Amino acid sequence: MSIRKYRTALAAWLACVLFAALVLLFCTGTSPLYNGHDWTDPNTYLTMGRGLLRGAVPYRDLFDHKGPLLYFIFALGALLHLTGFLGVFFLQVISLGTTLFFFYQIALLIL
């Protein structure tokens, strides 16, 4: 692949991430526009993730019935921002932007 194609792909990915950030800014509870998250599950997951970062053992020190991968994702979000959901918001933006980029690539292949 040439440098030009890499630049075009990177520009498309950045456009998808910016679009995802704009959409998620208004459409998700983890957005910095909102004061906290009013749903109990994300608060529980973030508490479990923060507990993992502080050395707590899942299902012994902290308990919830979900799988550990979800807690590790929220722990990564807690690493990015310790006091709120901003780290989780960044992970959501990157994930949605990457998904939109792959949708775009698939559409290019089909068309």
pLDDT in tens, 64-99: 888 889 999 999 999 999 888 999 999 999 999 999
pLDDT at residue number 2: 82
Confidence of residue 37 (pLDDT cuts 50, 70, 90): confident
State mean pLDDT over 5-27.
96
How many CB atoms sit inside 10 A of residue 37's CB? 18
- Work out the average pLDDT over 38-43: 84
Report helix, strand or coil for 58. strand
pLDDT score recorded for residue 43:
87
Q: Is the pLDDT of residue 1 over 70?
A: no
CA pair distance 66, 54, nearest whole angstrom: 19
